[in-house]
Amino acid sequence: MATAEKNLSNYDKDSIPNASNMRFGIVVSEWNDTITNGLLEGAIAALKENEAKEENIIVKYMPGSFELALGAQYLLEHLKIDGVIALGSVIQGETKHFDFVCHGVTQGVMDVSLKYNKPVIFGVLTDNTMQQAIDRSGGKHGNKGIECAIACIKMIAAKEEITKPMKKVGF
C-alpha cells in the first residue's frame, strides 16, 4: 500500500501562497461526523496557518456527502468566495449505496467547480473501514482536510496568476 505508515499531509509552508486575501467556503457532511469534524479542524488550521482570516472562512453543514455539491453551489451562488472545500466521509457497507454516493458526489463536485470556474476541492474520504477513515482524518496518514485546504489555496492562486492581464513586453 502506497500510504502505509506515511503522513501524507506534510507540506512546505514556504511553498504555499499567502491566503490573507482569499475567501473560502467549507461544506461539511454531518454524516460520520467524528471523521468530518476532524477533516474540518485540519482544513481550518491549514487555512489559518497560511494567513487566511477567520472571517473569510465560511462553514456550512450538509446532511450527508451526497449533498456537498449542492451545498458548494449554494455558497458559490450567494456568497463572494474564491473556492470551496467539500468534506465528507463515505464508508463501504454491505450494499451498492457506497458506489452510488461516491460516484454522485465526485461528479457533482467536479460539475460545480467547472460551472462556476472556481475550485471546489474534493475532500470526501471513500474508505473501506472506519479505521481507514480515522487514519486519514487526523490519524497516522495525516489529515485530508489539511491537504484539501492547501489545494484550495494553490488553485485560487493559480487562477489569479493565470487570469491576471499580461504586460506587453517590447511590442
Q: Please enumerate in sequence order all residues whose Cβ is within 8 A of that of 98, keeping only pairs 6 or more positions apart, or say none.
A: 90, 91, 92, 126
Looking at residue 168, the DSSP 8-state letter turns out to be P
The single residue of 78, 97, 103, 141 carrying the catalytic annotation is 97
Per the annotation, the verdict on 97 as an active-site residue is: yes
Helix (H, G, I), strand (E, B) or coil at 150: helix
- The percent helix, strand, coil of the chain (3-state, each to 5) is 50, 20, 30
- CA–CA separation, 59 vs 21, rounded Å? 17
- CA–CA separation, 142 vs 131, rounded Å? 13
- What single string gives the DSSP state of each residue in 84-130? EEEEEEEE--SSTHHHHHHHHHHHHHHHHHHHHTS-EEEEEEEESSH
Which positions are annotated as active-site residues? Answer: 97
